[in-house]
Structure 1
Amino acid sequence: MSTAAVTATAKTGRTPGTLRYALILGGLSAFAPLSIDMYLPALPRMAADLHSSAPTLQLTLTAFVIGLAVGQLIAGPLSDSLGRRRPLLAGLALYAVASVLCAVTPSAELLIAGRCVQALGAAAGIVIARACVRDLFSGSAMTKFFSMLMLVSGLAPILAPVVGGQVLRLTSWRGVFVVLAVFGAVLLIAAAVALPETLPAERRRPARIGATLRGYAGLLRDRSFLGYSASAGLVFAGLFAYISASSFVLQGVYGLSPQEYSLVFGANGLGIVIAGQVNGRIVGRVRERALLTAGLCASAAGGAGVLLAALTGVPLGVLLVPLLVMVSSIGLVMPNASSLALAEHPHHAGSASALLGVMQFVVGGLATPLVGIGGDTSAVPMGAVMTSFAVVALLTFATLTRRRAA
């Protein structure tokens, strides 16, 4: 399919061209949850196998987040200059190779380094997928498409820990990274064959460091962009606190098996998918800002519920209810925050998408060591970090975007 055909179809607000296009973009958007969630059930075994501690293994999450942040800052402007396809294909190839290196690493330190390189490749897929959506859509149509992508990418947190748990039945944790390498290779082939270029040559911008830095500075001076991006990043940090600590808390404190933990994690991922699809159905009738406000409030309420449940020592079943609310809120927060943040920057979609991603993953990376400081013998540190980030997200949103809303 040609670029012109894709653009013309996108302007109608329908899925561009074929279902394959949405599936590929959804797969690219799924890189982060798939690469993170699939190996969560294996963290306790990895700590023993590599003769390392839980906080050290949690640094593999932090390294991945840092790699995602740096990679997006590079891939975003490059895609504004070179088009979307070339940086994307290079990133997918790097991801596949780094996944193989992670599978054969002999130490936790080398695994941390390998995860950082792996994330550099994944970053290209994540940032360019968002930029492609901005190339094709605007307004509520863009929000609807982001919500539709969550139907695809939202399956990753559902399936990833389940697949990871089943892989552990057949082989060691190293097999998980082999599966990730295969996933990267499949997406590389699919993108090379079926993903058209969405940024015509006449809309590209020269790749100059000075211009790129000035573009980033202009985005950071935009209170509205900063407010939407930062609030999304802070909510994502609360989610990351759950991601990094839940395997130790639910298995070590509450005694779940890797397979039971995978089912709980998958159920929370299903909540994200359902919330995202509800969002896609009602956006247009309900303003994106109102839906984003609802998502931020749900995140704060869910985090507070988890903290209260942990402090009072209630049974696991009670704790899982507010945890589901908090995780599901991502399905409301991310599509609306992404759409509102990118709406005013069609000519810098790659750079704006990069900063949006950096806000998510840099702030999200802060959650991992904060939870680790509190230890892994209680759910209280996880609940406290989740609640803190969610409340700050709500305050940031209300403060920085108030003028634009008025």
Structure 2
Amino acid sequence: MTVCKFGGSSLADDAQIRKVRAILEADSSRTIAVVSAPGKRNADDEKVTDMLYECNALAQQNRSCRHVFDNIARRYIDIAKGLKLDTVKLAAALDEIRQNIDAGRGTDYAASRGEYLSARIMASYLGWEFIDAAECIVINGDGTVNPLSYERLAGRLEEGGHYVIPGFYGANEQGVVKTFSRGGSDISGAIVARAAGADLYENWTDVSGMYAADPRIVKDAKVIEELTYTQVRELSDVGASVFHEEAIAPVIEKGIAINIRNTNAPEDPGTMIRPSSEKKGIIGVSAKGGYSKLKLRKLMMFKRPGMRHAMLTMLHLYGVRPSFSFFGIDSIVWYFESGQANDSVLKSMVERLKKDFQLDYAYYERDHAMLGIVGGHLDDDTSFITACAALKEAGIRINNVNYGSSNTTTLIGVNDSDAKRAVEVIYKALF
């Protein structure tokens, strides 16, 4: 059995929804569809979810959201008419949602209604059963899925049934609607796949899989045929997009494969994400900018028990949570997202670190990026040497390197201004 999740671009209008129906009908194992809110129809269009957030912002200011909501309502009515569906009940549901937003039902309620309405329309169009995610998916206060969700969903899914479930949201333990982070419909699809005991989780979007490099940087970047759960998470950590990395977690325990596919090119095989792979060599390179770098040094630092932990605790007190760490004999370099703290906070933090830990030196720098080379069995591979040589030849400064601690990822710190060019250079050298 296959669970299919369709992203916003796959549901942008009635023509796209017809493609979705054709995909579902082409394979009898596709019995559950998880859907997003309608995305952009063109580059100048607005996503429905963005307009819903705008409606909620107006409601919080005690202003009517009708003028914005009318655009949302028009989108859904046009879709329903294009699919030759009755619009009377839909119009009533839209009016109720607008009134609830104006009445202050909250951000999560407002944001979730795009998926709710998409699922209602899709279920009606397919003749499948609609299941409201708020009745089954329980989201904890920290945004993670409550294991109770799997039991509740499994209880609603009957063998031989066909279901449409809205993505992106569920409810808290009190039954109040709660959303995942943006892009959370990927997570919803994975939750449903696990609860249903699916053999495969298909994630349908507007690209034919994950690319070996950002196609906006490398024009002829190839599609990755296969990678592992770990590899997709590591690529996501250094900026690769397409698939929400948190969506891996629900399917890991059950070993459910994920196939990223293209709604507009359903014949393309896409990218398969599996629990493990014996393939060797490089599969992708990506870079993420917007980091700051903190460097600390003290003679015999690592012979002082608890010192590293104590310094990290101090960073947390200042709101700094490092994403990447590099260690020398007597030094530590931490990379963290620059938006976590302004210069005033960082200067105060550095001075306190110097004083409390009697450091030889401590300083921070802005405008850094982290580049990741991801593959299989990289500890037996010469790609690191090739990549470094290519960067040197291109005149790109290497600030920090983490090689050998993972056999799937090599990390290279570069200046933010060099990040895109570094991806181009390494892709050309390794692919």
Could you tell me the TM-score, scaled by structure 2's length? Answer: 0.26
Structure with the larger RCO, 1 or 2 (CA within 8 Å, 6+ apart): 1
Q: When you count helix as a share of all residues, which structure comes out higher? A: 1
Could you tell me the TM-score, scaled by structure 1's length? Answer: 0.27
